[in-house]
Structure 1
Amino acid sequence: MSGTPIKIIQTSMLSLAYEEHGSASGDPVILLHGFPYSPRAYDEIAPVLATKGYRVIVPYLRGYGPTRFNRPDTLRSGQQAALAQDLLDLMDALAIQQAALCGYDWGGRAACIVAALWPERVRCLVTGDGYNLQDIPNSTRPMDPVQEHRLWYQYYFHTPRGAEGLARNRRALCELLWRLWSPSWTVGPALFVNSAPAFDNPDFVDVVIHSYRHRFMYTDGDPALEWMEQALTHQPVISVPTISLCGADDGVGPPPEVDEDIEHFSGPYERRILAGVGHNIPEEAPEVTLKALLDLLQR
């Protein structure tokens, strides 16, 4: 587990916790974790970037670790626009005008949205599994049965039983997802204990349940973010230099042979398939993730 001190920055909505590595004068790099993971995913990446002179920020997403909502009456939204707004707010609070972004799962979604809608704020992007913007208007169209089977946990969270199950068994359920989503990662179960405390956040369950219901239009989002959600329905292209890392053994959805996301990228873009890697890309393949970042940063 990292011994890096946790810092707190105030945004309009959150007391947002993050870990920082390197000099404050270095070029900023922001590393974003997903569900159900934590900043521990970047423990082998952030310090190396710091030694190369970069300022590295690794936040705890809303609902994770020490990050807290400022008001008890704020909707515990997990919608994609909320994650993107948190990233923008973090950058503004830290006076970061432009940063390199790296993220996967929820964090990859936030990074892709900011890259698509505010490209001037993004120097380059490393995204886990390509174009992560949700196409919510078309979310209710059935997929092939094999992929539907992989998404069982999302349908579970749509029900009161699923919400109670996550509340009662959050560690056991998240550990199961780790194993299912990264079947080739033999050390994953042993490392789970390092990330599990981040799920004890009092808002974790509410944020997770809202996230998986909102993406299927089963609950309303934050009215203040509706303008962004409307912009995302157009599936805006990403123009910043991008490398997509895809785990060949990803239990959520292995990458297709043909890159279906390429049409969503108008700038320099490359997809790299990672043999023997599952869903937790930076923690399973830190050297490959670091190389992708440096390939873009040093280009």
Structure 2
Amino acid sequence: MPAIRTALLEISFLDVGPRQGPVIFLIHGWPDDIRAWFKVAPYLNAAGFRTIIPYLRGFGLTRFLATDTTRDGRGIALAQDVIDLADALGISDFFVAGHDWGARAAYLLAALFPSRVHKIAAMALAFQPRGEFPIPSFPQARLFWYQWFMCTEGGAAAVKRDPVGFSKLQWDTWSPAGWYDEEEFFKTAESFRNPDWAAVTLHGYRSRFLPEPIDHRYDDLQRRMSGIALLSTPTLVINGASDSCDPPSSFEEGDHNFVAGYELLTLDGMGHFPSREAPETVAKALIRHFRK
């Protein structure tokens, strides 16, 4: 698998499809890895798109170059990693499709780098204006139990001890029962054995609500994002009608934040992992969106 060094990371990624085709960065979510796109990418490649699928920081084969770099898991850092990878590959403009954490990165890329990102598609996560994390309603807070769990010292220690078991609990509860097979989960879970997975995971969630150390190289991007409530990039959002983490109510009235086109596609019977649960449907929707 190819890997490229940026200022902070050695990013491992797949690069498949026609070399001169339009580029789609496919960004995986949490807790997941590049396998989330394995059944979607071939459709995109056959349709003429070049797909680049990186392991996020802290996942799989991607590694930090220095031991003293803050293991910052904020979306702003993930978005900059995509820009750094695109720069290293000599790609000036592109599309982005992201799931979960990858969806957050897609929204942030559209907000902060609109001249480089033509269109985005986001799955299983709604846009958060100004990059804010307000305390959710009581029903949503109940679904977000795992976030509060990680904000306790005992919970954080438990995640460090058993990242695979913690991740499997999300797979077991975020989508209808029986949606995945055990072998596929455990192949994916190899990515959660990355030495920085727990640190990046914990930082990504704890920094939303606690005063965690941050990497100040992202301060300017974070400041800029704090003033952005509207996106001017055409956006497709795909969610599952049976998602038990980010239910359909999460996406109500989301169109008010998009000024250049917004489409919401809700998949009946699907949960939190659309690219895995309905890969052909997702692929066809992406092709239609990115070809328009």
* Structure 1 residues 169 and 184: alpha-carbon distance in aligned structure 2, compared to 1, 3 A threshold: same
Does structure 2 retain, via aligned residues, the 8 Å contact 1:246–1:274? yes
My pick for the range that moved more, 14-23 or 183-192, is 183-192
Aligned partner (choices 2, 5, 12) of residue 7 of structure 2: 12
My pick for the range that moved more, 112-121 or 256-265, is 256-265
Aligned partner (choices 48, 52, 56) of residue 53 of structure 1: 48
Question: Which sections of structure 1, spanning at least 5 residues, go unmatched?
Answer: 1-5
Aligned partner (choices 204, 209, 213) of residue 202 of structure 2: 209
My pick for the range that moved more, 219-228 or 205-214, is 219-228
Aligned to 2:171: 178
Aligned to 2:162: 169
Aligned to 2:118: 123
Aligned to 1:83: 78
The one-letter amino acid paired with 1:122 is V
Q: Which runs of 4+ in 1 moved over 4 A?
A: 134-138
Aligned partner (choices 95, 104, 109) of residue 109 of structure 1: 104
**Separation (CA, whole Å) in 2 of partners of 1:83 and 1:51:** 28
User: SS in structure 1 opposite 2:31?
Assistant: coil
The one-letter amino acid paired with 1:124 is K
* Structure 1 residues 225 and 207: alpha-carbon distance in aligned structure 2, compared to 1, 3 A threshold: same
- Deviation of 1:131 (Å): 3.7
Does structure 2 retain, via aligned residues, the 8 Å contact 1:60–1:67? yes
Aligned partner (choices 131, 139, 144) of residue 151 of structure 1: 144
User: SS in structure 2 opposite 1:58?
Assistant: strand
Percent identity, aligned pairs only? Answer: 35
Q: Find out whether 1:275 has 2:268 as its counterpart.
A: yes
Question: Which sections of structure 2, spanning at least 5 residues, go unmatched?
Answer: none
**Separation (CA, whole Å) in 2 of partners of 1:117 and 1:206:** 26
User: SS in structure 1 opposite 2:42?
Assistant: helix
* Structure 1 residues 112 and 213: alpha-carbon distance in aligned structure 2, compared to 1, 3 A threshold: same
Deviation sequence 1:103-126 (CA, Å, 0-9, x none): 011111111101112111112111
- Deviation of 1:69 (Å): 0.5
**Separation (CA, whole Å) in 1 of partners of 2:129 and 2:181:** 27
Q: How many residues align?
A: 292
TM-score of the pair, normalised by structure 2: 0.94
User: SS in structure 2 opposite 1:20?
Assistant: strand
* Structure 1 residues 74 and 257: alpha-carbon distance in aligned structure 2, compared to 1, 3 A threshold: closer
Q: Find out whether 1:67 has 2:62 as its counterpart.
A: yes
**Separation (CA, whole Å) in 2 of partners of 1:37 and 1:122:** 24
The one-letter amino acid paired with 1:249 is S
- Deviation of 1:185 (Å): 4.8
TM-score of the pair, normalised by structure 1: 0.92
- Deviation of 1:137 (Å): 5.2
**Separation (CA, whole Å) in 2 of partners of 1:197 and 1:63:** 12
Q: Find out whether 1:96 has 2:91 as its counterpart.
A: yes
User: SS in structure 1 opposite 2:115?
Assistant: helix
**Separation (CA, whole Å) in 2 of partners of 1:134 and 1:239:** 13
Task: Tell me how large the CA RMSD over aligned residues is.
Answer: 1.8
Does structure 2 retain, via aligned residues, the 8 Å contact 1:98–1:120? yes
* Structure 1 residues 30 and 84: alpha-carbon distance in aligned structure 2, compared to 1, 3 A threshold: same
The one-letter amino acid paired with 2:156 is A
**Separation (CA, whole Å) in 2 of partners of 1:130 and 1:223:** 26
